Chain A
Amino acid sequence: MKRLLLNTEFKNLVREKVTVIIVAFSIVLAGLAFVNGHFFSQSQNEVVEAAWTSQQHNITEAATQLPLRLSTTEPVQWWQDRYDLRAQAFYVMVNYATKPPLPESPIAIGQADVLPYYFRMLVQEKQQVVQQYDYVHPLNLLLGQFDLSFVLIYLLPLLIIGICFNALSNEQHSGQLRLFLLQGGSAGQLLAIQILLRGAIVLVPFLVFSNLLLVLFREHIEPRTLVSFSLIALLYGCFWFALCAWVNSRGKSAATNAAILVTCWLSFVVVLPALINTFITHANPTPSRIQYIDSLRASTDEAKKASEKTLAQFFQDHPELASTSASGSDFATKKIATINAIEQAMQELDEQYQQIQQAQLGKAMWLEYLSVATLTHSILVELSGNGLVRHNAFMAQVQLHHQALQSFFAKGIVEANQNGDFSPCKGCNARPTITDLSTLPQFDTNFSTPSVNFAPMLWLILLSLLLVYSTSRNVCVLASPQTTKMVV
Chain B
Amino acid sequence: MQTQPKRPVIQIDNLVKTFADHTALQGLSLTVNQGEILALLGPNGAGKTTAINCLLGFLKPDKGCISVAGYSPQKDVALVRQQLAYIPEQVALYPRLSGLENLAYFSKVAKVAMADCDFRALLDTVSLPNHAIDQPVSGYSKGMRQKVGIAIALAKKSKALILDEPTSGLDPSASHEFSQLIQRLARQGVAILMATHDLFRAQEDAHRVAIINKGKLVETLHYQQLQETQLEAHYLKHIKVGA
Interface positions of A (Cβ within 8 A of B): 1, 4-5, 8, 11-12, 15-16, 171, 174-185, 479-486, 488
Select one of A12, A180, A480, A485 contacting B106, CB under 8 A: A180
Q: List 19 A-B contacts (CB under 8 A).
A: A4-B105, A8-B101, A12-B94, A15-B97, A175-B91, A176-B94, A179-B91, A179-B106, A180-B109, A182-B84, A182-B85, A182-B86, A184-B78, A184-B82, A480-B57, A481-B77, A482-B58, A486-B58, A486-B59
* Cβ–Cβ < 8 Å partners of A486 in chain B: 53, 58-59
Instruction: Check B81 against A182 for contact (C-beta < 8 Å).
Output: yes
Instruction: Check B88 against A485 for contact (C-beta < 8 Å).
Output: no
Instruction: Check A481 against B152 for contact (C-beta < 8 Å).
Output: no
Instruction: Check A181 against B59 for contact (C-beta < 8 Å).
Output: no
A486 to B53, CA, bound (A): 8
A174 to B156, CA, bound (A): 22
Select one of A8, A174, A483, A485 contacting B97, CB under 8 A: A8
Instruction: Check B86 against A179 for contact (C-beta < 8 Å).
Output: yes
* Cβ–Cβ < 8 Å partners of B85 in chain A: 182
A29 to B88, CA, bound (A): 44
Size bin of chain B's contact surface: 35 or more
* Cβ–Cβ < 8 Å partners of A4 in chain B: 105, 108-109
* List of 10 A-B pairs having minimum Cβ-Cβ separation, nearest first: A175-B92, A481-B60, A183-B110, A15-B96, A185-B109, A183-B109, A176-B92, A8-B105, A483-B60, A4-B108
Instruction: Check B109 against A481 for contact (C-beta < 8 Å).
Output: no
* Cβ–Cβ < 8 Å partners of A16 in chain B: 96
* Cβ–Cβ < 8 Å partners of B84 in chain A: 182
Closest CB in chain A relative to B219 CB, distance in Å: 28
* Cβ–Cβ < 8 Å partners of B107 in chain A: 183
B127 within 8 A of A: no
Instruction: Check B59 against A482 for contact (C-beta < 8 Å).
Output: yes
Known A11-B96, A179-B93; 17 more pairs at CB < 8 Å: A4-B108, A5-B109, A12-B94, A12-B97, A174-B92, A175-B90, A178-B86, A179-B106, A180-B106, A182-B85, A183-B152, A183-B156, A184-B81, A185-B109, A481-B73, A484-B20, A488-B58
B56 within 8 A of A: yes
A203 to B21, CA, bound (A): 47
- Complex interface bits, B2-24 against A, C-beta within 8 A gives 1, otherwise 0: 00000000000000000110000
Instruction: Check A481 against B19 for contact (C-beta < 8 Å).
Output: no
* Cβ–Cβ < 8 Å partners of B93 in chain A: 176, 179
A4 to B106, CA, bound (A): 10
A174 to chain B: closest residue by CB: B92
A181 to chain B: closest residue by CB: B81
Interface positions of B (Cβ within 8 A of A): 19-20, 53-54, 56-60, 73-74, 77-78, 81-82, 84-86, 88, 90-94, 96-97, 101, 105-111, 136, 152, 156
Closest CB in chain B relative to A143 CB, distance in Å: 40
* Cβ–Cβ < 8 Å partners of A480 in chain B: 57, 77
Closest CB in chain A relative to B51 CB, distance in Å: 13
Instruction: Give the secondary structure class of B's interface.
Output: mixed
Among A179, A183, A185: residue with most chain B CB under 10 A: A183
Instruction: Check B19 against A484 for contact (C-beta < 8 Å).
Output: yes
A442 to B78, CA, bound (A): 76
Closest CB in chain B relative to A67 CB, distance in Å: 84
A4 to chain B: closest residue by CB: B108
Closest CB in chain B relative to A22 CB, distance in Å: 16
A481 to B105, CA, bound (A): 24
Question: Knowing A481-B58, A488-B58 touch, does A11 contact B101 (C-beta < 8 A)?
Answer: yes
A482 to B53, CA, bound (A): 10
* Cβ–Cβ < 8 Å partners of B73 in chain A: 481
B155 to chain A: closest residue by CB: A183
Instruction: Check B109 against A184 for contact (C-beta < 8 Å).
Output: yes
A368 to B59, CA, bound (A): 44
Closest CB in chain B relative to A212 CB, distance in Å: 31
A488 to chain B: closest residue by CB: B58
* Cβ–Cβ < 8 Å partners of A481 in chain B: 54, 57-60, 73-74, 77
Instruction: Check A182 against B56 for contact (C-beta < 8 Å).
Output: yes
A16 to chain B: closest residue by CB: B96
A463 to B78, CA, bound (A): 31
A176 to B90, CA, bound (A): 10
B78 to chain A: closest residue by CB: A184
Closest CB in chain A relative to B151 CB, distance in Å: 12
A333 to B82, CA, bound (A): 96
Select one of B92, B111, B136 contacting A179, CB under 8 A: B92
A488 to B86, CA, bound (A): 14
Closest CB in chain A relative to B22 CB, distance in Å: 13
Select one of B60, B96, B106, B109 contacting A482, CB under 8 A: B60
Closest CB in chain A relative to B43 CB, distance in Å: 20
* Cβ–Cβ < 8 Å partners of A174 in chain B: 92
* Cβ–Cβ < 8 Å partners of B81 in chain A: 181-184
A183 to B105, CA, bound (A): 10
Instruction: Check B111 against A184 for contact (C-beta < 8 Å).
Output: yes
Instruction: Check B58 against A178 for contact (C-beta < 8 Å).
Output: yes
A11 to chain B: closest residue by CB: B97
Closest CB in chain A relative to B208 CB, distance in Å: 24
Closest CB in chain B relative to A243 CB, distance in Å: 25
* Cβ–Cβ < 8 Å partners of A488 in chain B: 58
A178 to B60, CA, bound (A): 16
A175 to chain B: closest residue by CB: B92
B136 to chain A: closest residue by CB: A15
A485 to B58, CA, bound (A): 9
Closest CB in chain B relative to A121 CB, distance in Å: 66
Closest CB in chain A relative to B56 CB, distance in Å: 6
B158 to chain A: closest residue by CB: A182
Closest CB in chain B relative to A181 CB, distance in Å: 7
